[in-house]
Chains A and B, each alone.
Chain A
Amino acid sequence: MKLAKQNGENWQYELNAVEADLLKQLLKNFPFTGHVPVKISKVNADSNSIEREKLLNESLAEHRKELKKQANNLIAAKKFNPSEKAHLLTLNAKERETLLQILNDIRVGCWRALGEPETTELHKPDCSAQELARHQLMNLAGYFEHHLIGLTERETGRH
């Protein structure tokens, strides 16, 4: 994955056929894991905190639905265009942020589904097919996140 060109707000990324296919599959099948309720405080457990926590989890569930819509939009809007040499993905700043949130949702969701291990390395020799799939999804999402941020930073750092 590399940055092909930047045209104002729109950034065009060049992906090879495998990368394009994998990214499309990630978007198409998002979300891969269920919503796991989160705590709003590590210490406080008063009535205000409980109410805040409820609101937070409702808001996160709603946000996830919105991300799902955005994931569908990214595929439907023909953001991926195959060219002779590569697949071109065009994103504006908002779409880039959305894609990053989707990717990290996949990454963190898989990590949680794996039981929140202390390392993201796979050490278990006898892991199940599902564990292996989640592990690979987590790494794949990380791969795209790393490149999206790196390419953006490299380019904005030049100006």
Chain B
Amino acid sequence: MSSVVEPVTLPKPVIKKTPKSDDDLAPTFYVVCWNDPVNLMVYVTHVFMKIFGWNKQKAEKHMMEVHEKGKSVLVREGAEKAEFYVHQLQNYKLHATMELAE
């Protein structure tokens, strides 16, 4: 014979909301590299390694993404850092832009 258990109502969990800092609210940007037919594949890989300090495998992965998909999101950063990376990439004549992240 089974016993009948009285239903127990659990209290609602209390979720503490931490106030968002200015940094959390600041917009972030994607640094995007776009494909073109002129920059050599070895050159693009070299530049990614140089600027982001990536190993060859990671740099090649992004380079191939640029080559095959037309673009690659390289990093997501705050405005200042994203702008810095775009300047660096453009100094090497790569087609790079910064796009507002949603």
- Complex CA–CA separation, A43 to B97 (angstroms): 9
The complex places the Cα of A39 from the Cα of B97 at a distance, in Å, of: 7
Does B75 count as interface, using CB distance less than 8 angstroms? no
Q: Is A107 a contact partner of B50 (Cβ separation < 8 A)?
A: no
| A-side contacts of B46, CB under 8 Å | 100, 149, 153
Which secondary structure dominates where chain B touches chain A? mixed
Residues of B within 8 Å of A, CB-based: how many? 24
Does B38 contact A40, Cβ atoms closer than 8 Å? no
List residues of A whose CB falls within 8 A of some B CB. Answer: 38-44, 48, 52, 55-56, 59-60, 63, 97, 100-101, 104-105, 107-108, 111, 116-120, 138, 142, 145-146, 149-150, 153
Q: List 12 A-B contacts (CB under 8 A).
A: A38-B90, A40-B83, A56-B90, A59-B87, A101-B92, A104-B93, A107-B93, A118-B37, A120-B38, A142-B40, A146-B42, A153-B46
